[in-house]
Chain A
Protein backbone atom coordinates (compact mmCIF):
# COMPACT_ATOMS: atom_id res chain seq x y z
CA UNK A 1 0.00 0.00 0.00
CA UNK A 2 1.22 3.51 -0.86
CA UNK A 3 0.44 6.34 1.52
CA UNK A 4 1.42 9.97 0.93
CA UNK A 5 0.96 12.45 3.77
CA UNK A 6 1.08 16.25 3.44
CA UNK A 7 3.60 16.13 0.61
CA UNK A 8 5.17 19.43 -0.50
CA UNK A 9 7.61 19.39 -3.41
CA UNK A 10 9.31 22.43 -4.97
CA UNK A 11 6.12 24.52 -4.85
CA UNK A 12 4.65 22.14 -7.43
CA UNK A 13 2.85 19.79 -5.06
CA UNK A 14 1.24 21.32 -1.99
CA UNK A 15 -0.09 19.40 1.01
CA UNK A 16 -0.85 16.38 -1.13
CA UNK A 17 -2.46 13.39 0.57
CA UNK A 18 -3.02 10.12 -1.23
CA UNK A 19 -3.62 6.46 -0.40
CA UNK A 20 -3.35 3.76 -3.03
CA UNK A 21 -4.40 0.31 -1.85
CA UNK A 22 -2.60 -2.94 -2.62
CA UNK A 23 -3.35 -4.25 -6.16
CA UNK A 24 -5.09 -1.01 -7.06
CA UNK A 25 -4.59 0.47 -10.55
CA UNK A 26 -4.85 4.26 -10.40
CA UNK A 27 -4.79 6.63 -13.36
CA UNK A 28 -3.30 10.11 -12.82
CA UNK A 29 -4.50 12.85 -15.16
CA UNK A 30 -4.03 16.59 -15.30
CA UNK A 31 -2.80 19.50 -17.41
CA UNK A 32 0.85 20.04 -18.25
CA UNK A 33 2.64 21.42 -15.20
CA UNK A 34 0.00 20.09 -12.80
CA UNK A 35 2.67 18.05 -10.98
CA UNK A 36 2.07 14.52 -12.28
CA UNK A 37 5.71 13.73 -13.12
CA UNK A 38 6.88 15.54 -9.96
CA UNK A 39 4.61 13.24 -7.94
CA UNK A 40 6.17 10.19 -9.65
CA UNK A 41 9.69 11.56 -9.11
CA UNK A 42 8.94 12.06 -5.42
CA UNK A 43 7.59 8.50 -5.10
CA UNK A 44 10.62 7.01 -6.86
CA UNK A 45 13.04 9.19 -4.85
CA UNK A 46 14.46 11.30 -7.69
CA UNK A 47 13.17 14.46 -5.99
CA UNK A 48 13.41 15.03 -2.27
CA UNK A 49 10.23 16.57 -0.86
CA UNK A 50 10.39 19.80 1.15
CA UNK A 51 8.22 18.13 3.77
CA UNK A 52 5.68 15.37 4.10
CA UNK A 53 6.02 11.59 4.15
CA UNK A 54 5.87 8.75 1.66
CA UNK A 55 5.07 5.34 3.11
CA UNK A 56 5.14 2.03 1.28
CA UNK A 57 3.57 -0.84 3.21
CA UNK A 58 3.76 1.34 6.36
CA UNK A 59 7.50 1.85 5.94
CA UNK A 60 8.62 5.48 5.65
CA UNK A 61 10.74 5.74 2.48
CA UNK A 62 10.88 9.56 2.29
CA UNK A 63 14.65 9.75 2.92
CA UNK A 64 15.54 6.58 1.06
CA UNK A 65 17.81 7.24 -2.00
CA UNK A 66 16.40 6.20 -5.41
CA UNK A 67 18.74 3.22 -5.83
CA UNK A 68 17.47 1.74 -2.54
CA UNK A 69 13.87 2.62 -3.29
CA UNK A 70 14.17 0.77 -6.61
CA UNK A 71 13.67 -2.43 -4.58
CA UNK A 72 10.04 -1.47 -4.00
CA UNK A 73 9.32 0.98 -6.84
CA UNK A 74 9.66 0.16 -10.54
CA UNK A 75 9.34 2.76 -13.32
CA UNK A 76 8.39 2.75 -16.95
CA UNK A 77 9.39 6.05 -18.50
CA UNK A 78 7.63 7.99 -21.24
CA UNK A 79 10.69 7.69 -23.48
CA UNK A 80 11.84 4.08 -23.94
CA UNK A 81 15.36 5.45 -24.51
CA UNK A 82 15.42 6.42 -20.82
CA UNK A 83 13.96 3.12 -19.66
CA UNK A 84 16.51 0.98 -21.50
CA UNK A 85 20.15 1.20 -22.57
CA UNK A 86 20.50 1.18 -26.34
CA UNK A 87 24.15 0.13 -26.42
CA UNK A 88 23.49 -2.96 -24.31
CA UNK A 89 21.89 -6.17 -25.52
CA UNK A 90 18.35 -7.25 -24.61
CA UNK A 91 19.86 -9.83 -22.23
CA UNK A 92 22.02 -7.19 -20.51
CA UNK A 93 19.04 -4.85 -20.09
CA UNK A 94 17.02 -7.68 -18.58
CA UNK A 95 19.98 -8.55 -16.33
CA UNK A 96 19.93 -4.97 -15.05
CA UNK A 97 16.22 -5.27 -14.25
CA UNK A 98 16.62 -8.76 -12.77
CA UNK A 99 19.20 -7.48 -10.28
CA UNK A 100 17.00 -4.60 -9.08
CA UNK A 101 17.09 -4.74 -5.30
CA UNK A 102 19.63 -7.55 -5.20
CA UNK A 103 23.34 -7.35 -4.32
CA UNK A 104 25.35 -6.96 -7.51
CA UNK A 105 27.94 -9.68 -7.11
CA UNK A 106 31.20 -10.38 -8.90
CA UNK A 107 29.81 -13.39 -10.71
CA UNK A 108 29.12 -13.59 -14.45
CA UNK A 109 25.63 -12.26 -15.04
CA UNK A 110 24.59 -14.60 -17.86
CA UNK A 111 23.10 -17.94 -16.94
CA UNK A 112 20.85 -20.56 -18.55
CA UNK A 113 18.36 -20.14 -15.72
CA UNK A 114 18.03 -16.40 -16.33
CA UNK A 115 17.83 -16.87 -20.10
CA UNK A 116 14.93 -19.28 -19.62
CA UNK A 117 13.07 -16.75 -17.50
CA UNK A 118 13.77 -13.92 -19.98
CA UNK A 119 12.58 -16.00 -22.94
CA UNK A 120 9.43 -16.95 -21.05
CA UNK A 121 8.63 -13.30 -20.25
CA UNK A 122 9.51 -12.01 -23.72
CA UNK A 123 7.38 -14.68 -25.40
CA UNK A 124 4.29 -13.07 -23.84
CA UNK A 125 4.96 -9.98 -25.99
CA UNK A 126 4.57 -11.93 -29.23
CA UNK A 127 7.26 -9.80 -30.85
CA UNK A 128 9.89 -12.48 -31.35
CA UNK A 129 12.25 -10.78 -28.90
CA UNK A 130 12.82 -14.09 -27.08
CA UNK A 131 15.04 -15.13 -30.00
CA UNK A 132 16.98 -11.89 -30.04
CA UNK A 133 18.59 -11.78 -26.59
CA UNK A 134 21.99 -10.88 -28.07
CA UNK A 135 20.65 -7.99 -30.18
CA UNK A 136 21.43 -4.42 -29.17
CA UNK A 137 18.37 -2.65 -27.77
CA UNK A 138 19.30 0.35 -29.94
CA UNK A 139 18.31 -1.73 -32.98
CA UNK A 140 14.72 -2.23 -31.74
CA UNK A 141 11.75 -0.08 -32.77
CA UNK A 142 10.21 2.34 -30.25
CA UNK A 143 7.29 -0.03 -29.60
CA UNK A 144 9.55 -3.05 -29.09
CA UNK A 145 11.77 -1.03 -26.79
CA UNK A 146 8.85 0.16 -24.69
CA UNK A 147 7.43 -3.38 -24.51
CA UNK A 148 10.84 -4.53 -23.28
CA UNK A 149 10.91 -1.83 -20.60
CA UNK A 150 7.48 -2.98 -19.40
CA UNK A 151 8.73 -6.57 -19.11
CA UNK A 152 11.80 -5.19 -17.28
CA UNK A 153 9.61 -3.34 -14.79
CA UNK A 154 7.63 -6.50 -14.09
CA UNK A 155 10.52 -8.95 -13.82
CA UNK A 156 11.15 -8.33 -10.13
CA UNK A 157 8.69 -8.34 -7.29
CA UNK A 158 8.51 -4.56 -6.78
CA UNK A 159 5.47 -3.40 -4.83
CA UNK A 160 4.71 -0.19 -6.72
CA UNK A 161 4.73 0.33 -10.48
CA UNK A 162 4.89 3.87 -11.91
CA UNK A 163 3.95 4.29 -15.57
CA UNK A 164 4.63 7.76 -16.97
CA UNK A 165 2.78 8.28 -20.28
CA UNK A 166 4.20 5.02 -21.56
CA UNK A 167 2.53 5.24 -24.95
CA UNK A 168 3.20 8.92 -25.67
CA UNK A 169 6.11 8.21 -28.02
CA UNK A 170 4.36 5.40 -29.92
CA UNK A 171 1.98 5.18 -32.87
CA UNK A 172 -1.64 4.11 -32.21
CA UNK A 173 -1.18 0.46 -33.15
CA UNK A 174 1.96 0.04 -31.03
CA UNK A 175 0.34 1.98 -28.17
CA UNK A 176 -2.72 -0.31 -28.13
CA UNK A 177 -0.53 -3.40 -28.08
CA UNK A 178 1.65 -2.00 -25.26
CA UNK A 179 -1.42 -1.16 -23.15
CA UNK A 180 -2.83 -4.63 -23.74
CA UNK A 181 0.45 -6.28 -22.63
CA UNK A 182 0.82 -3.99 -19.65
CA UNK A 183 -2.76 -4.38 -18.40
CA UNK A 184 -2.61 -8.16 -18.73
CA UNK A 185 0.67 -8.37 -16.79
CA UNK A 186 -0.41 -5.96 -14.05
CA UNK A 187 -3.65 -7.87 -13.42
CA UNK A 188 -1.82 -11.18 -13.48
CA UNK A 189 0.93 -10.07 -11.08
CA UNK A 190 -1.44 -8.03 -8.85
CA UNK A 191 0.72 -4.91 -8.76
CA UNK A 192 -0.11 -1.60 -7.14
CA UNK A 193 0.12 0.71 -10.11
CA UNK A 194 -0.06 4.43 -10.88
CA UNK A 195 -0.23 5.52 -14.49
CA UNK A 196 -0.05 9.01 -15.98
CA UNK A 197 -2.02 9.37 -19.18
CA UNK A 198 -3.62 11.99 -21.42
CA UNK A 199 -5.31 9.39 -23.58
CA UNK A 200 -9.11 9.45 -23.26
CA UNK A 201 -9.43 5.87 -24.50
CA UNK A 202 -7.06 4.66 -21.78
CA UNK A 203 -8.92 6.69 -19.13
CA UNK A 204 -12.19 5.00 -20.15
CA UNK A 205 -10.80 1.50 -20.39
CA UNK A 206 -8.13 1.18 -17.69
CA UNK A 207 -7.75 1.59 -13.96
CA UNK A 208 -9.82 1.25 -10.81
CA UNK A 209 -10.03 4.99 -10.24
CA UNK A 210 -8.86 8.27 -11.74
CA UNK A 211 -6.99 10.99 -9.84
CA UNK A 212 -7.07 14.50 -11.25
CA UNK A 213 -4.13 16.75 -10.38
CA UNK A 214 -4.60 20.49 -10.68
CA UNK A 215 -2.01 23.04 -9.59
CA UNK A 216 -0.38 20.58 -7.25
CA UNK A 217 -3.63 19.50 -5.57
CA UNK A 218 -5.72 16.35 -6.03
Chain B
Protein backbone atom coordinates (compact mmCIF):
# COMPACT_ATOMS: atom_id res chain seq x y z
CA UNK B 1 0.00 0.00 0.00
CA UNK B 2 1.24 3.50 -0.84
CA UNK B 3 2.15 5.30 2.40
CA UNK B 4 1.88 9.04 3.02
CA UNK B 5 5.69 9.63 2.95
CA UNK B 6 5.87 7.72 -0.35
CA UNK B 7 3.06 9.85 -1.75
CA UNK B 8 4.78 13.06 -0.58
CA UNK B 9 8.05 11.93 -2.14
CA UNK B 10 6.21 11.17 -5.40
CA UNK B 11 4.73 14.70 -5.44
CA UNK B 12 8.14 16.26 -4.70
CA UNK B 13 9.86 14.30 -7.47
CA UNK B 14 6.92 15.06 -9.77
CA UNK B 15 7.36 18.78 -9.17
CA UNK B 16 11.12 18.57 -9.79
CA UNK B 17 10.61 16.58 -12.98
CA UNK B 18 8.01 19.18 -13.96
CA UNK B 19 11.00 21.38 -14.85
CA UNK B 20 12.09 18.67 -17.28
CA UNK B 21 8.55 18.54 -18.71
CA UNK B 22 8.69 22.31 -19.36
CA UNK B 23 11.97 21.81 -21.22
CA UNK B 24 10.53 18.96 -23.30
CA UNK B 25 7.41 21.04 -24.02
CA UNK B 26 9.58 23.88 -25.33
CA UNK B 27 11.24 21.68 -27.94
CA UNK B 28 8.49 19.22 -28.85
CA UNK B 29 5.57 21.64 -28.81
CA UNK B 30 6.85 25.22 -28.97
CA UNK B 31 9.60 24.96 -31.61
CA UNK B 32 8.44 21.55 -32.91
CA UNK B 33 11.86 19.90 -32.71
CA UNK B 34 12.22 16.26 -31.59
CA UNK B 35 15.24 16.88 -29.39
CA UNK B 36 17.06 13.89 -27.89
CA UNK B 37 19.80 15.97 -26.24
CA UNK B 38 18.03 15.92 -22.90
CA UNK B 39 19.26 12.46 -21.81
CA UNK B 40 22.75 13.99 -21.81
CA UNK B 41 22.00 17.56 -20.72
CA UNK B 42 20.07 16.27 -17.68
CA UNK B 43 23.30 14.80 -16.34
CA UNK B 44 25.34 17.78 -17.47
CA UNK B 45 23.16 19.92 -15.22
CA UNK B 46 23.41 17.38 -12.40
CA UNK B 47 27.18 16.99 -12.73
CA UNK B 48 27.89 20.73 -12.94
CA UNK B 49 25.70 21.36 -9.92
CA UNK B 50 27.29 18.54 -7.87
CA UNK B 51 30.83 19.69 -8.64
CA UNK B 52 30.04 23.32 -7.81
CA UNK B 53 28.43 22.35 -4.51
CA UNK B 54 31.39 20.09 -3.67
CA UNK B 55 33.67 23.08 -4.29
CA UNK B 56 31.74 24.90 -1.55
CA UNK B 57 29.72 27.33 -3.66
CA UNK B 58 26.09 28.35 -3.09
CA UNK B 59 23.65 25.63 -4.28
CA UNK B 60 21.48 28.24 -6.05
CA UNK B 61 24.55 29.34 -7.98
CA UNK B 62 24.93 25.65 -8.86
CA UNK B 63 21.42 25.75 -10.40
CA UNK B 64 22.38 28.70 -12.59
CA UNK B 65 25.59 26.96 -13.66
CA UNK B 66 23.57 23.82 -14.43
CA UNK B 67 21.26 25.88 -16.66
CA UNK B 68 24.30 27.18 -18.49
CA UNK B 69 25.79 23.68 -18.85
CA UNK B 70 22.55 22.17 -20.16
CA UNK B 71 21.95 25.22 -22.36
CA UNK B 72 25.34 24.81 -24.00
CA UNK B 73 24.41 21.22 -24.91
CA UNK B 74 21.21 22.47 -26.56
CA UNK B 75 23.09 25.28 -28.27
CA UNK B 76 25.47 22.75 -29.81
CA UNK B 77 22.55 20.61 -31.03
CA UNK B 78 21.05 23.72 -32.61
CA UNK B 79 24.30 24.65 -34.35
CA UNK B 80 24.68 21.09 -35.69
CA UNK B 81 21.14 21.17 -37.02
CA UNK B 82 20.94 24.71 -38.38
CA UNK B 83 24.44 25.39 -39.68
CA UNK B 84 25.82 21.89 -40.33
CA UNK B 85 22.46 20.65 -41.69
CA UNK B 86 22.49 17.48 -39.56
CA UNK B 87 18.97 16.05 -39.17
CA UNK B 88 16.89 16.91 -36.09
CA UNK B 89 17.00 13.50 -34.44
CA UNK B 90 20.61 12.75 -35.29
CA UNK B 91 21.94 16.07 -34.02
CA UNK B 92 20.29 15.45 -30.63
CA UNK B 93 21.51 11.84 -30.46
CA UNK B 94 25.08 12.89 -31.33
CA UNK B 95 25.22 15.60 -28.68
CA UNK B 96 23.67 13.34 -26.05
CA UNK B 97 26.21 10.64 -26.93
CA UNK B 98 29.14 13.07 -26.69
CA UNK B 99 27.86 14.58 -23.46
CA UNK B 100 28.41 11.23 -21.71
CA UNK B 101 32.19 11.78 -21.99
CA UNK B 102 31.86 15.47 -21.15
CA UNK B 103 29.83 14.61 -18.06
CA UNK B 104 32.47 12.13 -16.88
CA UNK B 105 35.08 14.86 -17.38
CA UNK B 106 33.00 17.30 -15.33
CA UNK B 107 32.64 14.70 -12.58
CA UNK B 108 36.39 14.08 -12.59
CA UNK B 109 36.14 10.64 -14.23
CA UNK B 110 34.18 9.28 -11.26
CA UNK B 111 30.80 7.89 -12.42
CA UNK B 112 29.06 9.18 -9.28
CA UNK B 113 29.32 11.92 -6.68
CA UNK B 114 27.61 12.09 -3.29
CA UNK B 115 26.27 15.29 -1.75
CA UNK B 116 25.06 13.87 1.56
CA UNK B 117 27.33 16.10 3.68
CA UNK B 118 26.91 19.19 1.52
CA UNK B 119 24.50 22.12 1.74
CA UNK B 120 21.91 21.92 -1.04
CA UNK B 121 18.87 24.07 -1.82
CA UNK B 122 16.81 21.53 0.12
CA UNK B 123 18.86 22.17 3.28
CA UNK B 124 17.09 25.51 3.64
CA UNK B 125 13.56 24.22 4.26
CA UNK B 126 10.78 21.83 3.36
CA UNK B 127 11.60 20.12 0.02
CA UNK B 128 7.99 20.36 -1.15
CA UNK B 129 7.92 24.12 -0.53
CA UNK B 130 11.29 24.69 -2.20
CA UNK B 131 10.28 22.62 -5.24
CA UNK B 132 7.02 24.63 -5.43
CA UNK B 133 8.88 27.97 -5.30
CA UNK B 134 11.27 26.93 -8.10
CA UNK B 135 8.35 25.72 -10.23
CA UNK B 136 6.32 28.91 -9.71
CA UNK B 137 9.31 31.09 -10.67
CA UNK B 138 10.03 29.05 -13.83
CA UNK B 139 6.39 28.79 -14.94
CA UNK B 140 5.90 32.54 -14.42
CA UNK B 141 9.07 33.25 -16.40
CA UNK B 142 8.03 31.12 -19.37
CA UNK B 143 4.39 32.20 -19.30
CA UNK B 144 5.59 35.80 -19.48
CA UNK B 145 8.26 35.21 -22.13
CA UNK B 146 5.96 33.36 -24.53
CA UNK B 147 3.49 36.25 -24.37
CA UNK B 148 6.04 38.82 -25.47
CA UNK B 149 6.73 39.74 -29.10
CA UNK B 150 9.93 37.70 -28.87
CA UNK B 151 8.05 34.72 -27.44
CA UNK B 152 5.41 34.96 -30.14
CA UNK B 153 8.20 34.80 -32.72
CA UNK B 154 9.62 31.73 -30.97
CA UNK B 155 6.21 30.02 -31.00
CA UNK B 156 5.63 30.88 -34.65
CA UNK B 157 8.81 29.05 -35.73
CA UNK B 158 7.39 25.79 -34.43
CA UNK B 159 3.93 26.31 -35.91
CA UNK B 160 4.65 27.63 -39.39
CA UNK B 161 8.23 28.31 -40.43
CA UNK B 162 7.39 29.87 -43.78
CA UNK B 163 4.98 32.29 -42.15
CA UNK B 164 7.48 33.06 -39.38
CA UNK B 165 10.21 33.95 -41.89
CA UNK B 166 7.76 36.03 -43.93
CA UNK B 167 6.88 37.87 -40.71
CA UNK B 168 10.51 38.86 -40.18
CA UNK B 169 11.44 36.16 -37.63
CA UNK B 170 14.98 34.78 -37.87
CA UNK B 171 13.85 31.15 -37.79
CA UNK B 172 17.35 29.67 -37.43
CA UNK B 173 18.28 31.83 -34.46
CA UNK B 174 14.95 31.13 -32.81
CA UNK B 175 15.45 27.38 -33.27
CA UNK B 176 18.88 27.53 -31.64
CA UNK B 177 17.55 29.70 -28.82
CA UNK B 178 14.67 27.28 -28.23
CA UNK B 179 17.01 24.29 -28.03
CA UNK B 180 19.41 26.08 -25.68
CA UNK B 181 16.56 27.31 -23.43
CA UNK B 182 14.93 23.89 -23.36
CA UNK B 183 18.14 22.13 -22.39
CA UNK B 184 18.87 24.82 -19.80
CA UNK B 185 15.57 23.80 -18.18
CA UNK B 186 16.56 20.13 -18.41
CA UNK B 187 19.92 21.03 -16.81
CA UNK B 188 18.13 22.82 -13.94
CA UNK B 189 15.95 19.74 -13.47
CA UNK B 190 19.03 17.48 -13.34
CA UNK B 191 20.67 19.79 -10.80
CA UNK B 192 17.56 20.06 -8.63
CA UNK B 193 17.03 16.30 -8.65
CA UNK B 194 20.67 15.62 -7.78
CA UNK B 195 20.47 18.03 -4.86
CA UNK B 196 17.18 16.42 -3.79
CA UNK B 197 18.49 12.85 -3.75
CA UNK B 198 22.00 13.77 -2.55
CA UNK B 199 24.01 12.10 -5.28
CA UNK B 200 24.78 12.30 -8.96
CA UNK B 201 25.25 9.29 -11.21
CA UNK B 202 26.43 9.54 -14.80
CA UNK B 203 23.71 7.17 -16.03
CA UNK B 204 20.72 8.67 -14.22
CA UNK B 205 19.64 10.79 -17.20
CA UNK B 206 18.70 7.75 -19.27
CA UNK B 207 15.02 7.82 -20.15
CA UNK B 208 14.52 11.43 -19.10
CA UNK B 209 13.11 12.21 -22.55
CA UNK B 210 10.43 9.53 -22.17
CA UNK B 211 9.55 10.69 -18.65
CA UNK B 212 9.33 14.30 -19.85
CA UNK B 213 7.18 13.34 -22.83
CA UNK B 214 4.91 11.22 -20.64
CA UNK B 215 4.43 14.23 -18.34
CA UNK B 216 3.62 16.55 -21.25
CA UNK B 217 1.14 14.10 -22.77
CA UNK B 218 -0.57 13.31 -19.44
CA UNK B 219 -0.71 17.04 -18.62
CA UNK B 220 -2.31 17.87 -21.96
CA UNK B 221 -4.86 15.14 -21.37
CA UNK B 222 -5.65 16.20 -17.80
CA UNK B 223 -5.62 20.00 -18.12
CA UNK B 224 -5.90 20.87 -21.80
CA UNK B 225 -7.73 24.12 -21.10
CA UNK B 226 -5.11 25.42 -18.66
CA UNK B 227 -1.78 27.10 -19.23
CA UNK B 228 0.47 24.57 -21.01
CA UNK B 229 3.22 24.82 -18.41
CA UNK B 230 0.81 24.27 -15.52
CA UNK B 231 -0.44 21.23 -17.44
CA UNK B 232 3.16 19.96 -17.78
CA UNK B 233 3.70 20.22 -14.02
CA UNK B 234 0.36 18.56 -13.29
CA UNK B 235 1.22 15.80 -15.78
CA UNK B 236 4.60 15.23 -14.15
CA UNK B 237 3.09 14.99 -10.64
CA UNK B 238 0.29 12.71 -11.88
CA UNK B 239 2.85 10.50 -13.63
CA UNK B 240 4.95 10.15 -10.46
CA UNK B 241 1.90 9.39 -8.32
CA UNK B 242 0.74 6.78 -10.82
CA UNK B 243 4.18 5.14 -10.90
CA UNK B 244 4.49 5.23 -7.10
CA UNK B 245 1.02 3.70 -6.80
CA UNK B 246 1.80 0.99 -9.34
CA UNK B 247 5.15 0.05 -7.77
CA UNK B 248 4.22 0.31 -4.10
CA UNK B 249 0.72 -1.09 -4.17
CA UNK B 250 1.72 -4.60 -5.24
CA UNK B 251 -1.00 -4.57 -7.90
CA UNK B 252 -0.31 -7.12 -10.64
CA UNK B 253 2.88 -8.00 -8.70
CA UNK B 254 4.78 -5.04 -10.18
CA UNK B 255 8.31 -4.35 -8.89
CA UNK B 256 10.76 -1.45 -9.25
CA UNK B 257 12.44 -3.12 -12.23
CA UNK B 258 9.13 -2.88 -14.12
CA UNK B 259 9.29 0.94 -14.08
CA UNK B 260 10.23 1.40 -17.75
CA UNK B 261 7.64 -1.12 -18.90
CA UNK B 262 4.90 0.57 -16.84
CA UNK B 263 5.98 4.03 -18.13
CA UNK B 264 5.89 2.88 -21.74
CA UNK B 265 2.48 1.23 -21.34
CA UNK B 266 1.13 4.35 -19.64
CA UNK B 267 2.26 6.55 -22.55
CA UNK B 268 0.73 4.14 -25.08
CA UNK B 269 -2.55 4.13 -23.12
CA UNK B 270 -2.68 7.94 -22.85
CA UNK B 271 -1.74 8.46 -26.51
CA UNK B 272 -4.37 5.99 -27.64
CA UNK B 273 -6.99 7.95 -25.70
CA UNK B 274 -5.64 11.37 -26.66
CA UNK B 275 -8.18 13.22 -28.76
CA UNK B 276 -6.99 15.14 -31.76
CA UNK B 277 -8.54 18.59 -32.16
Residues of A within 8 A of B (CB): 44, 46, 65-68, 70-71, 74-75, 77, 82-88, 92, 95-97, 99-102, 104-110
B123 interface residue, CB < 8 Å from A?
no
Inter-chain contact B163/A70, CB cutoff 8 Å: no
Q: Nearest chain B CB to A158's CB is how many angstroms away?
A: 10
What's the Cα separation between A71 and B168 when bound, in Å?
7
Report chain B residues within 8 Å CB of A66.
165-166
Shortest distance from the beta carbon of B128 to any chain A beta carbon, whole Å? 31
Q: Assess the B159–A87 pair: CB atoms within 8 A.
A: yes
Q: Across the interface, do A67 and B168 meet the contact criterion of CB distance under 8 Å?
A: yes
A135 to chain B, nearest CB (A): 14
A99 touches B149 (CB 8 A): yes
Beyond A70-B166, A82-B163, A96-B167, whether A104 also contacts B155 by CB under 8 A is no
Q: Whole-angstrom distance from the CB of A191 to the nearest CB of chain B?
A: 16
Which A residues are CB-close (under 8 A) to B164? 96
- Is there an interface contact between A107 and B149, defined as CB atoms closer than 8 Å? yes
- Report B176 CB to chain A, min CB distance, Å: 14
Check A83 against B168 for contact (C-beta < 8 Å).
no
* Contact segment of B90-98, B140-148, B197-205, B206-214: B140-148
Q: Does B60 contact A (CB under 8 A)?
A: no
Q: Secondary structure at chain B's binding surface: helix, strand, loop or mixed?
A: helix
Q: How far is the CA of A71 from the CA of B262 in the complex (A)?
A: 52
Given contacts A108-B147, A109-B148, contact A99 B167 (CB under 8 A): yes
Given the interface pairs A67-B171, A85-B163, the reply to whether A99 lies near B148 with Cβ below 8 Å is no
- The 8 lowest CB-CB distance pairs between A and B, nearest first, are A70-B168, A104-B149, A100-B168, A104-B150, A66-B165, A85-B159, A109-B149, A96-B167
The docked-state distance in angstroms from the alpha carbon of A101 to that of B165 is: 11
Given contacts A88-B155, A109-B148, A110-B147, are A101 and B168 in contact (CB under 8 A)?
Answer: yes
Contact: A84 with B148, CB < 8 Å?
no
Summarize A's interface: helix, strand, loop or mixed.
loop
- Do B165 and A46 touch across chains, with their CB atoms under 8 A apart? yes
Contact with A along B168-190 (1 / 0, CB 8 A): 11110000000000000000000
Assess whether A105 is in contact with B171, with CB atoms less than 8 Å apart.
Answer: no
Count CB-based A-B contacts (< 8 Å): 82
Residues of A within 8 A of B171 (CB): 67
**Which B residues lie within 8 Å of A65 (CB)?**
170
Chain A nearest CB from B112 CB (Å) reads 40
Give residues in B with beta carbon < 8 Å to A: 144-145, 147-153, 155-156, 159-160, 162-171
Residue contact B148 to A105, C-beta cutoff 8 Å:
yes
- Contact between B167 and A97 (Cβ–Cβ < 8 Å)? yes
Which residue from chain A places its CB closest to the CB of B145 in the assembled complex? A106
Cross-chain contact A70 with B152 (CB below 8 angstroms): no
List chain B residues, Cβ under 8 A from A77: 162
In the bound complex, what is the Cα–Cα distance between A214 and B40 (angstroms)? 54
B169 x A104 contact (CB < 8 A): yes
Do B165 and A82 have beta carbons less than 8 Å apart? no
Residue of B nearest to A81 (CB): B160
Q: Given the complex of chains A and B, what is the CA–CA distance between A109 and B151 in angstroms?
A: 9
- Residues of chain A contacted by B162 (CB below 8 angstroms): 46, 77, 82
Instruction: Determine which of A44, A87, A106 lies in contact with B150 in the assembled complex, contact meaning CB atoms within 8 Å.
Output: A106
List 17 A-B residue pairs with CB atoms under 8 Å apart, sorted by A's residue number: A44-B166, A68-B168, A70-B168, A77-B162, A82-B160, A82-B162, A83-B166, A87-B159, A100-B168, A101-B168, A102-B168, A104-B148, A105-B148, A106-B148, A108-B147, A108-B148, A109-B147
Cα distance A82–B165 in the bound complex, in angstroms = 11
**Residue in A83, A97, A105, A108 whose beta carbon sits within 8 Å of that of B144 in the complex:** A108
Q: How far is the CA of A104 from the CA of B164 in the complex (A)?
A: 12
Instruction: Known A75-B166, A104-B169; judge A96-B156 contact (CB<8 A).
Output: yes
Cross-chain contact A99 with B168 (CB below 8 angstroms) = yes
- Is there an interface contact between A70 and B148, defined as CB atoms closer than 8 Å? no
Give the residues in chain B near A95, CB-CB below 8 Å: 149, 152
B149 engages A67 (CB within 8 Å): no
A contact residues around B166 at 8 Å (CB):
44, 66, 70, 74-75, 83
Beyond contacts A46-B162, A85-B160, A99-B168: 17 other A-B pairs, Cβ-Cβ < 8 A, are: A46-B165, A68-B168, A82-B160, A86-B159, A87-B159, A92-B152, A96-B152, A96-B156, A96-B163, A97-B167, A99-B167, A102-B168, A104-B150, A106-B148, A108-B148, A109-B148, A110-B147
In the complex formed, the residue of B with least CB distance to A76 is B166
Nearest CB of chain A from residue B109's CB, rounded to whole Å:
41
* Interchain nearest-CB distance for B227 vs A (Å): 15
Shortest B140–chain A CB gap in Å is 13
Is A88 a contact partner of B159 (Cβ separation < 8 A)? Answer: yes
